[in-house]
Structure 1
Amino acid sequence: MTSSLWLAVLASGFIYGITPGPGVLAVFGIGAARGRRAGAGFLCGHLLGDVIWCSTALIAIVGAREFGSTAFNVLGLISGLYLFWLGLRAVRAKRSSVAEEGPARKPFAHGIFFGLTNPKAYPVAVATFTALLSGRAELLTWSMLPWLIALSFVGGALAYAILIGIVGAGHVRALYQRHQLLITRLCGVMFIGFAISALAHALPGLVGSNK
């Protein structure tokens, strides 16, 4: 495994974990209501869902690569279009649509349930990993899968460590709430950038295969 692939997988897990979404909004709400420990409990539970969804996404990506470049490019096209749609929605978001999750009595159990049942988790994981790994698709093999999963877990854990460090801090939460809409829109721009990257790698391959 090359260092560039190592960093791409690590970055994919980190970006997937730290990008504002339902889980991040939930942990800020829980942290504000019950403190940093409750927020950490929620994230530890949520991490189980992240590992499952990221592993499933990586299996799909490696499988598509093993079945041929066309399958991988089709996956990249679908993922890129979906990520572009998510980014466009975030860029066009209005303040009323950005909501916070309330406090949970059992943060750890709530985190597990939240992470496993989030309907956006799998497609976002596929789209994020495809966008960052598409340029290194030829390097992906089944034998690398355990390392890919482990690295994505480390990236997600690093993201959550940062979130735990800041959740519950009054001034941080106030700043986040004040600029929540702007942050959501900036993340939308980032999603669109990943989408363009995925499409830029997928479309030439698909066009070339039809010639």
Structure 2
Amino acid sequence: MQDLLGFVFAGLALTGSPGPNTLSLAAVGAAYGFRRGILYMAGLFVGMLIVMAVIATGVGGLMLTVPGVAPLVTALAAVYFLYLAFKIATAPPIDAPDRERRAPSFQGGVFLSLVNPKAYAAMAALFSGFQLFSASTELDLTAKIIALGAIIALVNALWLSAGSALTALFRDPTASRAINIGFAVLLLASLAFAVLI
């Protein structure tokens, strides 16, 4: 039980702390509202499940031993983060007539999780740092994935809700632009921080 509690607390700390996924969720919630951010949130969740599978099976470590893969993944991540930051920074105010501009998609959420360096580092730390079931590796990995899935779903909903609580500020075009640009800068800073650690 003590290992499970430690795992849950570490999971909350690592997945709930500001990073590319969580900050992008708050930004999407603020710029587009909770309802329009649900598909993106679902994509982030599915992407994290894939990241967990990659880490749990050891495929991530094998992939990074192939020459050229790490720089390619870093370049893809940088390009997508720049695109997402631009999309957030230029999102129109909530009441603007061209409000039908699409919020980030399910596929975009999956992709962000897959290229998020913090996601791999957090999952590697959680999967290697705790043992929930010593008798069975399969049971241990399954329990970790289920527990982390629940934690990530909760954390993501909270970040999206926190961002969407700011939507009232987005009715004023000047405040909307300033907040959008602020979120875009924070998103890029979180990427830079995740790459440096």
TM-score by length of 1: 0.59
Q: What one-letter code is carried by the residue in structure 1 that aligns with 2:195?
A: A
With over 3 angstroms needed to count, the CA separation of the structure-2 counterparts of 1:18 and 1:86, relative to structure 1, is same
Work out which of the residue numbers 22, 28, 38 in structure 2 matches 1:18: 22
Give secondary structure in 2 for the equivalent of 1:169. helix
Comparing both structures, which one devotes a greater share of its residues to helix?
1
**Which residue matches 1:82?**
74
Deviation at 1:175, TM superposition (A): 3.4
8 Å Cα contact 2:14-2:122 kept in structure 1: yes
Which segment is superposed worse, 95-104 or 114-123?
95-104
Q: What one-letter code is carried by the residue in structure 1 that aligns with 2:8?
A: W
- Which whole-Å CA distance do the structure 2 matches of 1:142 and 1:175 have between them? 45
**Which residue matches 2:120?**
130
**Which residue matches 1:9?**
11
**Which residue matches 1:190?**
190
Residue 47 in structure 1 maps to residue 38 in structure 2: no
8 Å Cα contact 1:47-1:115 kept in structure 2: yes
- Paired residues in the alignment total 173
**Which residue matches 2:152?**
152
Deviations 1:46-82 (A, max 9, x none): 3322221121121112111xx6x9538759x839962
- Which whole-Å CA distance do the structure 2 matches of 1:96 and 1:164 have between them? 17
Deviation at 1:97, TM superposition (A): 9.7
Give secondary structure in 2 for the equivalent of 1:78. helix
Equivalent residues in 2 for 1:74-113, closer than 5 Å: 74=65, 78=70, 82=74, 86=78, 98-100=89-91, 103-104=99-100
Give secondary structure in 1 for the equivalent of 2:99. coil
Q: What one-letter code is carried by the residue in structure 2 that aligns with 1:175?
A: A
- Which whole-Å CA distance do the structure 2 matches of 1:165 and 1:172 have between them? 15
**Which residue matches 1:162?**
162
For structure 2, list consecutive stretches of 5 or more residues without a partner in the other structure: 93-97, 131-139
- Which whole-Å CA distance do the structure 2 matches of 1:148 and 1:131 have between them? 14
- Which whole-Å CA distance do the structure 1 matches of 2:160 and 2:114 have between them? 20
Identical-residue share of aligned pairs (%): 9
Deviation at 1:146, TM superposition (A): 1.0
